[in-house]
Chains A and B, each alone.
Chain A
Amino acid sequence: MSGLVNPTVARITLRATLSRKRALLFAIPAAVLIVLTLVLKATHAPSRAWPSHVLGTFGFSVLLPLTALIIGTSVLGAEVDDGSIVHLLATPVRRFSVVATKFGVATGLTIVFAAVPELIAALIAGGGSASPLGGDKVGLVSISTSQFATGLFVGALACSVIYNAVFVMVSVATTRAIAVGLLYVLVWETLLANFVSGVRLLSVSHYGLGIAGGFVTDPALQAGLGVLTSVVMGIIVTAAALLLAVSLLSSFTLKGEPA
């Protein structure tokens, strides 16, 4: 059982995460995004740059972080929560491999429930439209659908990876992973990162938008970072979060919750 990914752990995690009505919870944000895109597509000409707003703002600061938050914190957090993690840790599976497997499953699920809907919505929306001065309707540069969709999809893939690394780490670090993650997503990612430009350097959704910006130049996406910065910072954050998760899980102690 050497190697990075343990198939048994992966299978159990997948089954536990998708069981019962929970999968429905992950699917709601994606469904809302697609329905919203369909409705706006039916009622508006794509001249107001709404595809970029819907897919950029809603997709990258709401859909991706929320889906990743719910999935990323539940793959490991659910077992920490009910205490069954001890059974897993008692098996001769390396802690690194546990974290890597959980992270892999979470990333895969996030791609299915968030990045793919983002791609579908981008294809439906049919290309953003960039106006050089932002909001000005004169001089619209239309962007081809495929280019727009590819850019957003790759950005969303990158976001799925980075977010899940962060949230898996958070779920090992604290028993209130969802509450802490929520605070981070709302206050850091949606509020601060959009108002304080320095925060963007440490904001996952801006890494995603930066990477998307490498494929498609659309000022309405409001990518605050360059491609290279985004890629490098994304890799650093992912690696740091995973290493921290492994080291936290290595010295993991199960604490009884005070009543």
Chain B
Amino acid sequence: MPDPQAAGVIHDLGYRGYDGPRLGRAQIVRALTWHSFRSAFGIGRGVKGKIVPLLAVIAMCLPALVNAFAVASGNQRLFGYDVYVPSLRAAVVIVFISAQAPELVSRDLRSRVLPLYFCRPLRRGDYPLAKYLAMTAALLILIEVPLVVLYLGTIASANGGSAVWTQTRALIPGLGVGLMWAVLFAAIGLVLASLTGRRAYSTGVVAISCILTFFLALLLIDAEGGMKDATSTGARVAGLFSPFTILDGVRVWLGGDPGTGLVPDPGGYGPLYGVVAVILLAACLAGLAARYRKVSQA
């Protein structure tokens, strides 16, 4: 007697049946997200799978720890909450997404398990959605935890409630910038990594496109007059060539300090940075959804 609920789902392989409750689509997405989030940090994988994410987190937190000691011995806070250590943060994010985004998507393509996922009550968009949520959460941990460490290390030596409040007010936009980074780079990493099932090559694709565009934008800014002399149109729009500099442009446009980050003050081009960032995010998400509409070729 077939269960009418299970119609259209291949569960009955002729083995002993299961007629307990089925948790359904929402639970599958939750489980897939949790599993992907764990594998983004190498949890549940061998020791080798943990090396890169662990090194990335350590490298990212190191400046915040140094700051705690510096503040304790009487210095000012060393790094801004909104920019943190710009070149280190960009480098670590590049390494993390190029090593871990393929971990999330390429393995399933390589071992051809996607048909097995999709014969469950899982819609086409659910799989990329789960992966995207997991990657965004992983990047949030990677980017925001050092900021919180920086904050705690600073207020530990602060005296008086007003000093703590000043730090808290500075921290909030910093967390917002971190959220922008996580949302955009999770999308970029996953869409590029899902192009090929060979992990080595998808790592290469993500890394090359991030590093090339990043250095291209920095060089163009430099050639157009650099950070200080940012009056030319060239220097103001040069940041549009790389996602890192786009997000920094958005940060300055929204009121961040122009002297500390990666790009010079975009001035009147600020809204352009915002629009390009949104378009880039939309394009990556659309590409990711389109990639999983048809999964016959790995």
A residues contacting B by CB (< 8 A) are: 22, 25, 28-29, 32, 36, 40, 44, 48, 50, 53-54, 57-58, 61-62, 66, 69-70, 73-74, 77-78, 81, 174-180, 182-183, 186-187, 190-191, 257-259
Contacts and interface: CB of A to CB of B under 8 A. Distances in A.
Given A44-B223, A191-B87, A66 B52 contact: no
B219 A179 contact: no
Contact of B204 (A25, A32, A44, A186): A25
Interface in B48-78: 48-49, 51-52, 55, 59
B48 A186 contact: no
Interface residues of B, number: 32
Interface stretch (B152-160, B182-190, B205-213, B281-289): B205-213
Interface in B194-236: 198-201, 203-205, 207-208, 211-212, 215-216, 219-220, 222-223
B contact face: mostly helix, strand, loop, or mixed: helix
Given A29-B208, A44-B223, A53-B223, A182 B216 contact: no
B211 A186 contact: yes
Given A36-B219, A48-B223, A191 B88 contact: yes
Contacts of B48: 174-176
Contact of A182 (B51, B99, B222): B99
Nearest to A67: B208
Contacts of A28: 208, 212
Contacts of A57: 215, 219
Contacts of B223: 40, 44, 48, 50, 53-54
B94 interface: yes
Nearest to A36: B216
A179 B99 contact: yes
A179 B52 contact: yes
Contacts of A69: 204
The 9 closest A-B pairs by CB, nearest first: A258-B46, A179-B99, A186-B91, A178-B203, A50-B223, A62-B215, A70-B204, A179-B52, A178-B200
B98 interface: yes
B35 to A, nearest CB: 12
B52 A180 contact: yes
Nearest to B94: A186
Contacts of B94: 182, 186
16 contacts: A29-B212, A44-B223, A54-B219, A61-B215, A62-B212, A81-B198, A81-B200, A175-B48, A176-B99, A178-B204, A180-B52, A182-B94, A182-B95, A183-B52, A187-B59, A191-B87
